Amino acid sequence: MAEYSPYREFTKRLKLLISKHPNLIATTLSNIFTMRLIGNKTHGDLAEIAIPEFINQYMYDFTSTHVGKDRFRAKKREEDISVVNQITKDEVLISIKAYSVGPLQLSTDKEARMFPLLESQRVSEINTSDRIRAILESPAFSEIEQMNVLPLIYDEKKNICNILIFDAEQAKQDVAAIRKVTGGYGRKHPIYEFRNENYEYICEVRYGGTTANALQRGLWTNTRNAIQYFDSITGGWIDYSHNMILVRLFSHALVASKRGHDRALQVVKDDIAEIIEGERL
């Protein structure tokens, strides 16, 4: 039996809520991904405040706050929101990721320990269980199973989205080979791919040297190539649509006064209350 985890308890409850009220997450994700019409990265920033509000409004046993830009700016960890279970009083810190389907960064490895450790092995492939276990149980990889990442994944061509949770525990257990890959796909720096006993892709560690972009280094996976290591919180892909009224609301709000914002906020609160009543949460 897996050890109790406040993060897994939260994602289990979130999955249950979505299974009973799929319209709630479909509306929220549609609004989040609509923000790409304003800017290519705007949706990611707004997801960090939208998801806590979703939790506060619809998950009665949990509360959430956005903490990423203040509390952790100069810290080692990468979380964006805090979630508190009101029954157990457990607090879990979560990193929100809003990515297109495909490559997904799980950790930036700020201390740049993963890649140098793999380089120190001085071989192009590691496939003995003892060496692999020693690497995965080393301090450089100690936080893999503690990564609390909530990835909001979208396919803009198909207008579909998903919330996919990477099963780091299973992935770690299944690693049977680690190989160094250089060149290809316009790659400037080498990477190390982690593969299972069937030589199927699990995840990868990207270059972490001084010339690497800190936002690109670290532990990555791929929501296409490693889909068997993901659990869909939304129960599969769901359709989303762009909300052009929301874009207009933002544009008007930016030139309106606080008085207007206060009135609009009350209207929005009334709408949420109607949604809750209609869904009978």
pLDDT digit string, tens, across residues 126-137: 999 999 999 999
Q: pLDDT at residue 140 above 60?
A: yes
The kind and range of the H/E element at 11 are helix 6-20
What does the alpha-carbon distance between residue 216 and residue 106 come to, in Å, rounded to a whole number? 10
Specify the pLDDT at position 72. Answer: 47
Mean pLDDT of 181-208: 89
Name which of 55, 35, 37, 38 is nearest 46 in CA terms.
Answer: 35
| Packing angle of the helix pair 258-279, 42-58 (nearest 10 deg) | 50
Contact criterion met (CB below 8 Å) for 221 and 229: yes
State the pLDDT confidence band at 204, using cuts at 50, 70 and 90: very high
Q: pTM of the entire structure?
A: 0.91
Specify the pLDDT at position 74. Answer: 46
Looking at every residue in the chain, the average pLDDT score rounds to 92
**Residue predicted with more confidence, 210 or 15:** 15
Contact criterion met (CB below 8 Å) for 247 and 37: yes
State the pLDDT confidence band at 69, using cuts at 50, 70 and 90: low
With tokens 């709408």, the residue in question is 271
Q: pLDDT at residue 112 above 80?
A: yes
Q: Which of 28-42, 62-76, 223-237, 242-256 has the lowest mean pLDDT?
A: 62-76
150 half-sphere exposure, CB direction, 13 A CA radius: 26
Q: pLDDT at residue 71 above 70?
A: no
**Residue predicted with more confidence, 186 or 38:** 38
State the pLDDT confidence band at 212, using cuts at 50, 70 and 90: low
The kind and range of the H/E element at 14 are helix 6-20
For residue 124, the 8-state DSSP code is: S
Q: What is the largest CA-CA distance in the chain?
A: 66
What does the alpha-carbon distance between residue 214 and residue 112 come to, in Å, rounded to a whole number? 9
Mean pLDDT of 254-280: 96
- Count CB-CB contacts under 10 A for residue 58: 20
**Residue predicted with more confidence, 145 or 84:** 84
What does the alpha-carbon distance between residue 102 and residue 104 come to, in Å, rounded to a whole number? 6
Q: What percentage of residues in the chain have a pLDDT greater than 70?
A: 92
Specify the pLDDT at position 75. Answer: 47
